[in-house]
Structure 1
């Protein structure tokens, strides 16, 4: 007889990573992105340890991508604001 197929379930951490990544782009930019990154890495490690019972690596990668992209855009945005206002204050200081 054939052995019954093992049922694989999605990793809870992978789902949390994806949801937090989406929240990082909408409601909670900083917190959501950090949670997406942390839980995404934890989910991928968990899935690698138990590949016969867990799936959801794509969900974890999507959460990681959303989280890292939002963090990168936030850093670029902060640098832009600092450079813009720093230059503006420098111009004001030299003309006065």
Structure 2
């Protein structure tokens, strides 16, 4: 009889932080989700097949984290662009 397959705790953490990043912890939660997702996928690949599960959870956490980081970067670029444009219109150099 085969022992039950356990789910990677790091993969679960990646998904949880991926969700949290959209609810209340934007930048830090995204970083944690991405890092945990990569760590979990490495952990799952190193184990014998069927011993540890959670690759899908890790991927979902990474997608949520990377999407949040992309939006954060886009917002930051937009903010800097508006500042530069505003200063150029006001004549302040």
TM-score, normalising length: structure 2: 0.92
CA contact (8 A) 1:21 1:33 kept: yes
- Segments of structure 1 that go 5 or more residues without pairing to the other structure are none
- Segments of structure 2 that go 5 or more residues without pairing to the other structure are none
Larger radius of gyration: 1
Map 1:1-96 to 2 at 5 A: 4-50=1-47, 51-93=49-91
TM-score, normalising length: structure 1: 0.90
CA contact (8 A) 1:6 1:52 kept: no
CA RMSD of aligned residues (A): 1.1
Aligned length: 91
Q: What is the rounded CA distance, in whole Å, between the counterparts of 2:90 and 2:22 in structure 1?
A: 35
